[in-house]
Amino acid sequence: MLGGGDHRRMSIDIKPPAQLSINSRALPISSPSPLRNVSENSHYMVSREEMQNGAQSQRAESIANHSKKLQDDLHELGQQIKHHEENVKYLKTEKNKLEDSIPDLQVSLGEYNKASFSTTKSEDPAHVNSEEETIQHIIKHEKSAAALLCIAKSQAEALASNHPLTKDVVGIVATLGKLDDDNLSRLLSEYLGLETMLAMVCKTYEGVKALEAYNKNGSINRTFGLHAFAASTGRPLDDRFLVICLENIRPYAGKFIADDPQRRLDLPKPRLLNGETPPGFLGFAVNMITIDNTNLYCVSKDGHNLRETLFYNLLSNLHVYVSREDMLKAMSCIKNGAVSLDGGIIRRPGMFSLGHHGGDIDIKFPNGSERLNLPEKYFEIENRVKETKWKKDRVFEDMQREQALLDRARFNYETKKQEFVQFFAQCSSQAHQYSTGRVSTPR
């Protein structure tokens, strides 16, 4: 009871628990249970299989993409080959047509017997300076390249159209134009200067390269071109010489005078402040030069003639006046230069040639007064022959370019085809290895 009675002690008899002994060998807690081990191994195998399948899928996609690219490249190259083959075939046909038409035109040209037509001569034979005389004067300049070229062109082997030294040379400046007025011929020769009058004119830069070559150290190769010919004649070529390349000249870009057989340039006449043409103005020097019909059509590679290339480059808008007084009064409208028949020369605005030229000017343009009175039809046919030959040459050049492009396309096609074959063989080998379980996982 509670309170003041006997206190009896209550005790509960509980046996103490037995002490547990821990044995690490008996309880290997660090190792998973067999069930857990199986579960994790199964998960690992599934993940590895998924990774392999994913890699194989990516590899298959990569192979498909690369295969498609190779096939697209082959298709594109095949289209290029077809395009160039068609172009070559077309150009061959055009070239054959032009070649076939030339003999017919030459037959028509041969119907005109030049010997049966009269000639118109200058009234004063003492002032006639023929082209042959001009060439003889050029040859007297023994150390000039122009003299060597004249000698070379007179030799039989150099007359061949394919001779490397002369085939691309049109001629010497002094022989490529004619003037009816001997005094004006002398003036223009003085204005241009001896070096320019003796300059050689080539159609293309290939012709320029055929005249001179250089050693590795930059010195002139004396065994090549005009220097080799000079050595063979015993006339060493030691001085500089001028060569004009028509291919690199910017031609006149304006119009021509309508119905003019000489194809003179339609240049605007000079005007004073009052709007009138200066008194004593005779014309433009570039239009006063007479050019042989053979040089009026398709001389340059681009089809331009000598007036719109060579002579426009040399003379530009050079004015010709009757007197110095007329020339000086017109100074306000002289933009490039002027000459007067009494000897005045303005080389360009602000640069005057004063005094008098000492000595005779032997290298000048031949006189153009002596001409055959051939019918206009003759010159039309002659120009058609020249134009047809020019077109044939241009078509042949285009055909050569197309053939080179065709050869290149075929080479690229075969290269790409070999690449595709090797790629296909490699893919087939890897597929066989995979089917036998020996393929390695791509990295």
Distances in whole angstroms, Cα of residue 401 to Cα of each of 38, 161, 237, 379, 408:
74, 23, 37, 33, 11
Name the E strands within 16-136: 119-120
pLDDT attached to residue 340: 94
pLDDT attached to residue 209: 93
Specify the pairing of strand 338-340 against strand 319-321.
parallel
Q: What is the DSSP letter of 26?
A: T
For the chain (length 443 residues), average pLDDT per consecutive 10? 42 40 41 43 48 62 76 87 90 84 71 53 50 88 90 66 78 92 91 95 92 93 90 86 94 89 90 89 93 79 88 96 93 93 91 80 79 64 74 83 91 86 76 57 45
pLDDT attached to residue 156: 55
**First-to-final CA distance of the chain:** 89
pLDDT attached to residue 374: 61
CB of 314 closer than 8 Å to CB of 297: no
pLDDT attached to residue 113: 55
Give the tokens for residue 122. 């200058």
Nearest 5°: phi and psi at 181? -95, 115
265: nearest Cα among 308, 320, 304: 308
CB of 199 closer than 8 Å to CB of 163: no
pLDDT attached to residue 16: 42
66/73 Cα distance (integer angstroms): 11
| H and E: helices and strands count for the chain | 11, 10
